[in-house]
Every structure is written in structure tokens, then in C-alpha cells.
Amino acid sequence: MIKLLVAGTVAYDSIETPFGKADNVLGGSALHFTNAASFFTDVGIVATVGSDFDLAGISFLADRNVDMSGIEVDQGKTFRWEGKYGYDLNQAITLKTELNVIETFKPKVPEGYRDAEFLFLANIDPELQLHVIDQVKKPVALVLDTMNFWIENKFDHLMEVIKRVDMLVINEAELREITKEHNLVKGARKLIEQGPACIIAKRGEYGVFMMNRDEVFLAPAFPLEDVFDPTGAGDTFAGGFMGYLANVGEATSETVKQAIIMGTVMASFNVEDFSINRIKRLTMEEIRERYSAFKECMQFGDISL
Amino acid sequence: MIKLLVAGTVAYDSIETPFGKADNVLGGSALHFTNAASFFTDVGIVATVGSDFDLAGISFLADRNVDMSGIEVDQGKTFRWEGKYGYDLNQAITLKTELNVIETFKPKVPEGYRDAEFLFLANIDPELQLHVIDQVKKPVALVLDTMNFWIENKFDHLMEVIKRVDMLVINEAELREITKEHNLVKGARKLIEQGPACIIAKRGEYGVFMMNRDEVFLAPAFPLEDVFDPTGAGDTFAGGFMGYLANVGEATSETVKQAIIMGTVMASFNVEDFSINRIKRLTMEEIRERYSAFKECMQFGDISL
């Protein structure tokens, strides 16, 4: 039985960064998420691919206890995204988006997934996110991601989803856009008043801001010397975050903080290579080492004044 | 005898932010620096003001053991800066700069200041910074700030100063501009190869990045709900940083980390009001409390996986 369920996209990406190019490589929010989360727990994916999709290319995930029976193969082509980055790797420029099978996707949650204790709604149409929520039992933690397109085009549906989730994991800019509030503390408080107990704002190379009803938690990003391709970093963060929470089995203020660090660690690996490649060949030993090294970068003593 | 010496500017600022306006208020790098540093150690200021400057307006600093005998009163008007900020308080827009007495300033370090153990060269012409260095005994820690104007117009002189200092405390964008390197780790390494043992990059609301020969240290900014006026935040950071180092008397990797947190704490107070007002009425008890609260925002546990 799976502990963690993700609903999102599986895609073929074509990416150009100042450090290289990759054409038609594996991507999509659900895939980056699962690739990371599967180090920590059993994951099930709800997504759609086209008949052109090479399922053998993701068969390695089965060895990590990923259940792929929720991936629907539809007539048509797989979702494709083409983008590039300049030296400021925080900013992706979308060159082309081909929705393909995503356009008519209506996510069906398999019977065996419906009592998953942890549920991540990756960035898809808020109406589809609501449709997923309606099919599952109330999980221990229901976590939402979204993007500017939905904020601008389906705001009312998005707010309906927000009212029903426990946590948001979104970009800092999206938090500002949803709340029309430049200050993160004020913006997070506004959203918490709508229902979610915890707001996590991703700040790219500047790390993560978390606020719940009692606390603020701040984590920098891991200081990498070579960032190769940031595509999927946010979803990889979410995968490490949710995977860790599902592993420990509860979402308290303490476990959420550890999970944020774990998400950051996983994202830091993801950007070291194109597509899902770095996380694909990652080991648990490397994860443990970087978690410790990262913690070391934030340690400082008490003062005596 | 003073422990900490700063060479920089004392100014009258006119500032507009989305939250209010203040005309002809106290400002300048040396003044913001000293205001913060004087909580921790004895400070001496090398700067110039015009005959229009109201010295009584800064007499409160004398009660905090600031030696103001190095402030030269010259014929002419005091340096004036006029600027404004939008909602993105990281970006100052300069409306007017009147150099006035700064234009012909030639800093003279008083005899009694020359063996100060800690020296901060605030943002002034690199040629003047060299002139200051030439007048003092080698301090325990010689720390430099600069700005884009000098990087663009006096690069060779600036590099000469950089070769002679122990640490740089500069903006992230300036680090990138000096080193022509987008990646902070690579940029900091390039500068360390030039001589300084430690590079501190200020990232505004995103905190601070530090790198020395052995370690990287990352600190977020304190999560404030109400930021009123960011003018002087960088100099206030430097003041808290250097004041703390002078207080403990040594600049090791450990004390530098604590000093970075102290600088961040002081800067977080500075932005809560216009000019030097918030730090002027600050108490040591408030400083201790915020240091602890800030530390709390970064705590997380070890994992067991």
C-alpha cells in the first residue's frame, strides 16, 4: 500500500542552459517529485502520458517501490515543455508548451491509492486538483503547489483548493501574487486565515521561508558551485519534503522543518545534472552526507553579552 | 582608547518609502555603522561634515563611548543623499547626490586612533581607503565595503585595497560585478585568492552568504512584518558585525559567524524606522531577545534514516 500519492504531470522536456542542452528528456512535476520522494517512502503517481511515452524509461522507479498503475496512457502525444535559462538560473523562459494529452486529462485515483496518508497536488489545473481531493479520504497532510497561470486564470477555483489543504508549497512570487502582499510574513498570515496550517515559500537560490500558526522557519539553499539545470528543482524539493514526512508519518512543526531541509538537499542534487539524472543515480549515503554538511553551514554559537 | 575605527560618511538623507517620508535626516555609512557598533565597543569615526552640520544631533553617541574627534568640520555643506524605494525595498533609487564637503575630503586618522584593533573601511573612494590603511598599524581585522560606482570607475585602486584587507562585506551584486562570476561560491573563491581570508555577501531580505578558506556559512535575514526604511541597513549590519568582533577581540570562523548574526539582528532593527532612529532608542535587552528569537527561526533536528 502506498503512503504518498502525487497528482501531476509526466513530460518530455527540452532544456537549454548556459552549460548545455538536452532534448526530449524525462520531466514533469509528478516525475521529479516521485524520483525524490521514492528514497523515503512508497509513492503512487496519478498522471497521464501519451501513447508515444517510453514506460521502460521510468521502470527504475519500480525498484524504489513506486506504484505506477495510476499513470494513464492516453491516445495522443505526451505533454512537452521547452525552455531555457540564462545565467540567472532562477528564471526559466518558456519557449514552447504542448499540452497534448494533458488537455483532456481527468485524473482518476485508483482504488488502492485512496487512503494514502500523504497527498501532494502538484501544479495542475485547480479544478483537477479539486477532483483529486474529492476522490480520496482525508489524508494526514494534503499539500498544494500551483503556478502564476492558475492564479491569473482560475483564481476562484484555486482559492477553493487552498481552503481544503493543510499546507502550500509555492514560489515566493506566487505567494505575493495570490495575497497581493509584498511582505512574506503578512502574505503567509493571510493564507493561514483561509485554512492551511502551514505556508512554505520557495525562494530559489535563496532557500525557503516557512510559517505556521506559531512559528517562522528559515532555511537557505545549499551553496552549490555548479548548477547545471534548475528544471524540476521545486518539484524535487516537494518530493524530498513529502517523502520525508511520509517516512516519519506525521507533520508536526519539528518534522516539517526537517522535511524542508531534506527537500532542499534533494533539490540541490537535482540541479547538478539535466532532467532526473542526478537523483536517479543518487544514494542514501550521499543524502545523509549532504544533510549533515548543510546543517553545518548554518551552525553558530550563543552570545555572551 | 578606541577598539574599532570606521572611515566613511556622515550625511543628511532625504528618503521616501511606500510608508512615509523623511527630509534631511541623519545618515551616512559611518553614522549608521557607529550607531550599531557602539552597543558593543568603543568606536572612533573618521569622516567629514560641513559647517551646516548640527553636531548636537549626534551627541548621544558620546554617551555610548563613541569618540568623535575624528569628525572633521570643513567649510561648505554636508554630504546629502536623496532616494526613494518602491515596495521592493531591496532596490534604492537615487534621486540626487550632493557630494559637497566629501569632494575634497582627505581622511586624517587621529594619532589616538592608529592602533585600533578593528578597522572598517565603509564605502568611499578606494584611493581614500588606501590612504586610511597607510595611516594605521596593521589591525586584527581590516574590513572593506565598496559600491558599484567604484567597481566601474576605480577598479584598479579597488583591487589594490582588496589585496590589503582581511575581509570584504559587500552586496551580492557587487561580488558578482567585481568577479564577473554569477555563482557566489566561485566568486568568493576568486576574491580569496587575491588575499582576503573571508568574503561576506549581503543579500538584502535574503540574508548573508559567508565564505572563508575552510567553510561556507549561510544566514537568512530576520523575518520582519513591517519594514519601514532600508536605508543604512548594510552599514548597520557592518556595525553590528564589527562591533561584536571588537567586543570579543578576535575574528575566528566561530566569532565571525556570531558576528554575522549580530549584524543581521542590528540591521533588522534599523529598517523599522527612518534614519538612525530605531537603533538610537534600542536597548541591549532587545538585542539579546532578537538574537535568540532569530536563532530559534533556524533550528531543526537531525534525521534518522
Dihedral, A185, A304, B167, B112 alpha carbons, nearest 10: 130
CB A275 within 8 A of CB A25: yes
Instruction: Summarize pLDDT for B98-152 with one digit per residue, the tens.
Output: 999 999 999 999 999 999 999 999 999 999 999 999 999 999 999 999 999 999 9
Cα separation, A304 vs B194, in Å, equals 34
What does the pLDDT average to over A24-48?
98
pTM score of the predicted model: 0.95
B residues 11-50 near A, CB within 8 Å? 40
Q: Is the pLDDT of residue A89 over 90?
A: no
What does the pLDDT average to over B161-177?
97
Grid coordinates belonging to A36:
525524490
Grid coordinates belonging to A8:
501531476
Distance from CA of B254 to the nearest CA of A (A): 7
Using a pLDDT cut of 90, give the percent of chain B over it: 94
Instruction: Summarize pLDDT for B3-26 with one digit per residue, the tens.
Output: 999 999 999 999 999 999 999 999
Contact across the interface for B216 and A223, Cβ inside 8 Å: yes
Strands (E), chain B: 4-7, 11-17, 20-27, 43-50, 66-67, 71-74, 80-85, 92-98, 118-121, 141-144, 167-171, 198-202, 208-212, 216-219
N-terminal to C-terminal alpha carbon distance within chain A: 55
Q: Is the pLDDT of residue B89 over 90?
A: no
**pLDDT band for position A304 (50/70/90)?**
confident
Q: Is the pLDDT of residue B91 over 90?
A: no
Q: What pLDDT, on the 0 to 100 scale, is given for residue A202?
A: 97
Rounded to two decimals, the ipTM of the complex is: 0.93
Grid coordinates belonging to A249:
508519518
Q: What pLDDT, on the 0 to 100 scale, is given for residue A283?
A: 97
The SS3 assignment for A113 reads helix
Q: What pLDDT, on the 0 to 100 scale, is given for residue A272?
A: 96
What does the pLDDT average to over B189-195?
97
CB B94 within 8 A of CB B66: no
CB A4 within 8 A of CB A35: no
Contact across the interface for A206 and B207, Cβ inside 8 Å: yes
Kindly state whether B293 is in contact with chain A, defined as any CB-CB distance less than 8 angstroms: no
The H or E element that residue B23 is part of is strand B20-27
The full length of chain B comes to 305
A residues 261-290 near B, CB within 8 Å? 261-262, 284, 287-288
Q: Which stretches within B103-146 are classed as H helix?
A: 126-135
Query: Which chain A residues have a beta carbon less than 8 Å from that of B225?
Result: 183, 185-186
Q: What pLDDT, on the 0 to 100 scale, is given for residue B76?
A: 97
Contact across the interface for A183 and B226, Cβ inside 8 Å: yes
Instruction: Summarize pLDDT for A155-195 with one digit per residue, the tens.
Output: 999 999 999 999 999 999 999 999 999 999 999 999 999 99
Cα separation, A218 vs A208, in Å, equals 6
Q: Is the pLDDT of residue B87 over 90?
A: no
Q: What pLDDT, on the 0 to 100 scale, is given for residue B119?
A: 98
Grid coordinates belonging to B295:
536563532
Distance from CA of B5 to the nearest CA of A (A): 21
Of B207, B258, B303, the CB nearest to A220: B207
What does the pLDDT average to over A108-131?
97
